[in-house]
Amino acid sequence: MAAAALANQVEVLAFDIFGTVADWHGSIVREMRERHPQVDGDAFARAWRAGYKPAMARVASGQLGWTLIDDLHRMILDDILPRFGLAHLGGEEREDLNKVWHRLDPWPDSVAGLERLKRRYILCTLSNGNIGLLTRMAKRAGLPWDCVLSAEVFRAYKPDPATYLGVAKVFDVEPGQVMLVAAHHEDLEGARRCGLRTAYIERPLEFGAAQPKDVSARPANDLHCTSLADLADQLGLG
């Protein structure tokens, strides 16, 4: 579908957050540099994130009951701290460090890009992060959401169809009137299976400069964008 026709069909833009709108890796590295400069923040950030999918898989399989991402992040954190010489951290220190996910910095283009997109579209989050986390992150970073939606609302983690179809249901639109905006192909594939439109955002430094991502275009996506500003350009927003 041509970009102009797509721009007119879509009513809701739903955004993945970790890596797409917010720089989780750089934010964790920054906090580790401030709190524990003796630790390799780059390796620490990647180790923490590496536990993300396995932890969610335990919930999806029924091994764990429904669990908020805040609590999964804490479980992963407790597991990795000894590997980085931080087993001595007390409960309050661990809890505050775990809330780094509430304090993630947006990518440099995120706020301005979202403000442009908001002129025409309903903007919502569609993240596995819980509502409290996403709301506090938005408040701190100035992210101008119209609505905060989360896996918590649907009690299912992406790529469960309940998440993507849930957005359409919340706004009483057809799936094809919702576009998922994400930097992760698995997420976008899940959205397409449910009939959503998809826009890929290049975030080559999501895992840090030492581990650049392949951000090559894939023809299955409706749009391929270098940034949220580029997404606004392609959708015809000045």
Q: Is 60:154 a contact under the CB 8 Å cutoff?
A: no
Mean pLDDT of the chain: 96
Cβ–Cβ < 8 Å for 150, 200: no
pLDDT value at 3 more than 90: no
Token duo for residue 32: 């580790």
For residue 136, pLDDT beyond 80: yes
Query: Is residue 166 predicted with pLDDT exceeding 90?
Result: yes
Q: Tell me the whole-structure pTM to 2 decimals.
A: 0.96
- Confidence check: pLDDT of 1 > 70: no
* Residue ranges covered by each domain of the chain: 3-23+104-234, 25-102
What is the structure's pLDDT at 9? 95
Segment (H or E) for 202: none
Q: Is CATH 1.20.200.10 what the domain over 3-23+104-234 is classified as, yes or no?
A: no
Asked if 70 and 133 count as a contact pair (C-beta separation under 8 A), the reply is: yes
- pLDDT of amino acid 74: 98
Q: Which pair of structure tokens corresponds to residue 60?
A: 């999806």
Distance CA 124, CA 15 (A): 6
Summarize pLDDT for 98-124 with one digit per residue, the tens.
Answer: 999 999 999 999 999 999 999 999 999
**Mean pLDDT, to the nearest integer, of 148-167?**
96
Query: Which pLDDT score is estimated for 195?
Result: 98
Mean predicted confidence (pLDDT) in 18-46: 97
Q: How much is the pLDDT for 5?
A: 84
Helix-strand-coil split of the chain, %, nearest 5:
50, 15, 35
Q: Where are the alpha helices (DSSP H) in the chain?
A: 3-9, 24-35, 41-50, 52-60, 69-80, 91-98, 110-118, 131-141, 151-154, 161-171, 185-193, 228-234
**Which residues, 6+ apart, have CB-to-CB distance to 90 below 8 Å?**
none
Residues of the chain with pLDDT > 70, as a percent, come to 100
Is the pLDDT at 29 greater than 70? The verdict is yes
The third-level CATH classification (topology) of the domain covering 25-102 is DNA polymerase; domain 1 (1.10.150)
Model confidence band, residue 4 (pLDDT cutoffs 50, 70, 90): confident
Total residue count of the chain as it appears in this document: 238
Kindly give, in sequence order, each residue whose CB lies less than 8 Å from that of residue 103, ignoring residues fewer than 6 positions away. 27, 31, 136, 137, 140
Task: Look at residue 205 and tell me whether its pLDDT is greater than 90.
Answer: yes
